Structure 1
Amino acid sequence: MKAVNRRAFLAGAGAALAGAAVTNPVAAQSSTSNGNHGGRGNPIAVATYSFWRFKRDMKMPIVECIDHAARMGFDGVDILLIQMDDQSTGALNKIKRHALINGLDLCCMSTHQGFVSPDEARRQKNVDLTINQIEIAYQLGVPIVRINTGRWGTSGNFDELMANRGIEPVLPGHTEDEGFKWVIDAIEKCLPKAEECGVILGLENHWGLARTPEGLLRIVNAIDSPWLQVLLDTGNFLEDPYDKLEMCAPQTVFMQAKTYYGGGLWYTLDLDYPRIARIMRKHDFKGYVSLEFEGNEDWQAAVPKGLKLLRDAFG
């Protein structure tokens, strides 16, 4: 399948939208008279991670997460793939059907992989894993898959990484430039399957080489494909987040929004969501905002509070 240049793709889409606005003057008047996407606001989803948070004995089946999301009034569900114990076709179809009858979009699927390794076979194994994840998303009808760069692995476990504020040293004998090349080459191998399935890969600022906006955008801009965009996590820029969020906003197609009621599992950020919403609106972000509750409070109280917070800011 012929690759499509991201800038050409976006330019063409923009022209098509402009034409639609001309042929629908009522819609055009509505959108120009209201600075918030014609008054629509951003749809709000909940990550299934919010009901689990890797807490012992709290892993919840995806269909139960869907039930809770519908009851609470969310618009969509962001599935954490490793929370899904059964990935058979029948199980995926059951999840898709359950979301439909509950009136919810399956709007994202968050996955894990790691491309930061000098071992070519290991990188290829993670490419194959990601391609399989894209096919799972396609079966579910999910339009975007959250991907990571992976990490150097020199900081030990995740608790140690968090104690070091997400910073870890480069693997001895290698350089960051090598790491970026490994990641870029690996993601490029995944893009034909993403395009074939119509599934966008959303690269998250999720530690590793995408820990900073500069690193994240270096990868996205080097690949320059409409099938690789930014998935922005509000809680992963630990210092001075607002300027960093704004750097990424123009290329963001999906946002995961952290809350920390009861104190964070690893850290707590006091995030100003009205300010973040203004930043994203300034850059015409119309996509989903997905709640990721990462606190110690009981989810039954904390998740509805997070929904209200995000509705008030992005609605």
Structure 2
Amino acid sequence: MNISVISYAFHKQMQEGKVDIFGYLETCKYRYGLDTADIWSGMLTSLDEEYLLKIKDALCEHELTLVNLAVDGPHIWEDDPETREAHYRQALDYLKAGEILGARSVRIDAGGGRDDLEFTSEQMDYIVSRFSEYAKRAADNGYMVGPENHWGPEKTPAVMKAICEAVDSPAFGVLLHFDRWSGPDAEKGDEIIAPWVMHTHVTRAIADRLEPKMAMLRDAGYKGCWGVEHAADNYTEVGVLLAQVRDVLERWRTAG
């Protein structure tokens, strides 16, 4: 089944020294029976090519496809020009990392003020320009790139839609974190952005509405991976959410 669990789910275990990126890949393969990996950048200790090639080798050894590389840190907009340029250079490094690892998609946030609901015209123009550049690179290398409705103005549905329409590239998409929206039309955010979704974060917050949420996205044409995100102190809670997603997909399969 086309399901994944982001390595952020185990960031507590990582901070305690109980798991690293290689242990995470073992967890995907043998604990959860997945054929996918879904890497959060915080679990990478380096962007050195030799280190990344070791991860690539582990992905191949375990026959895992990297469905997404979720990048924290080098978001596009920062008010300070020097910081903005530094983020751009870091983002290019992460795009290269995604290419080395064979990621099907890479998430890079738009940035801006964390409590803001909109971008200024200057911010929007710059963000669209950078995402257009990233999307061209992604198209040339066979993957997708885009933001998540994660924080700041990118959590406003109309803002995210405007970015998607302005970039207008088949290699650009959104990592949809279900029900994580702010501002006007927040309750309709998932539906508004559905046509551009490249990957998902399914959380326990929608467990009681899981099937209709997934069906909405499926009916909008989504054929990507159903990524699960749930940070817990144990592995069983993640396993429960994975099982719930599997159950929906299996019922769809048997229903024809």
TM score, norm. by length of structure 1: 0.71
Closer, same or farther in 2 for the Cα pair 1:211/1:292, shift >3 Å?
same
> Residue by residue, what CA displacement relative to the aligned partner does 1:113-149 show, whole Å, maximum 9, x if unpaired?
2223333333222222111111101111112101111
CA contact under 8 A between 2:10 and 2:231: conserved in structure 1? no
Indicate the SS of the match to 1:50.
Answer: helix
Indicate the SS of the match to 2:147.
Answer: strand
Matched, 1:314 2:249: yes
Cα distance in 1 for partners of 2:206, 2:212 equals: 14
> Residue by residue, what CA displacement relative to the aligned partner does 1:291-315 show, whole Å, maximum 9, x if unpaired?
11134xx332111111101111234
Matched, 1:225 2:169: yes
Residue 253 of structure 2 corresponds to which residue in structure 1?
none
Paired residue type of 1:311? R
Residue 294 of structure 1 corresponds to which residue in structure 2?
231
Match among 103, 106, 120 for residue 66 of structure 2: 106
- Tell me how far 1:99 sits from its aligned partner: 1.9
Q: Which has the larger radius of gyration?
A: 1
Match among 41, 44, 49 for residue 84 of structure 1: 44
Residue 10 of structure 2 corresponds to which residue in structure 1?
51
Cα distance in 1 for partners of 2:95, 2:18 equals: 23
Cα distance in 2 for partners of 1:194, 1:116 equals: 20
- Tell me how far 1:219 sits from its aligned partner: 0.7
Cα distance in 2 for partners of 1:138, 1:244 equals: 30
- Tell me how far 1:56 sits from its aligned partner: 4.2
| Aligned residue runs from structure 1 range 59-78, under 5 A | 60-71=19-30, 72-78=32-38
Higher mean C-alpha deviation, range 85-94 or range 243-252? 85-94
CA contact under 8 A between 1:127 and 1:189: conserved in structure 2? no
Cα distance in 2 for partners of 1:149, 1:59 equals: 32
Matched, 1:187 2:147: no
Indicate the SS of the match to 1:294.
Answer: coil
- Tell me how far 1:82 sits from its aligned partner: 2.1
Unaligned 5+ runs, structure 1: 1-41, 154-166, 260-267
> Residue by residue, what CA displacement relative to the aligned partner does 1:218-243 show, whole Å, maximum 9, x if unpaired?
11111111221121111523798663
TM score, norm. by length of structure 2: 0.86
Matched, 1:130 2:91: yes
Residue 146 of structure 1 corresponds to which residue in structure 2?
107
Residue 13 of structure 1 corresponds to which residue in structure 2?
none
Cα distance in 2 for partners of 1:272, 1:53 equals: 27
Unaligned 5+ runs, structure 2: 251-256
Matched, 1:249 2:208: no
Q: Identity, % of aligned pairs?
A: 23
**C-alpha RMSD over aligned residues:** 2.5
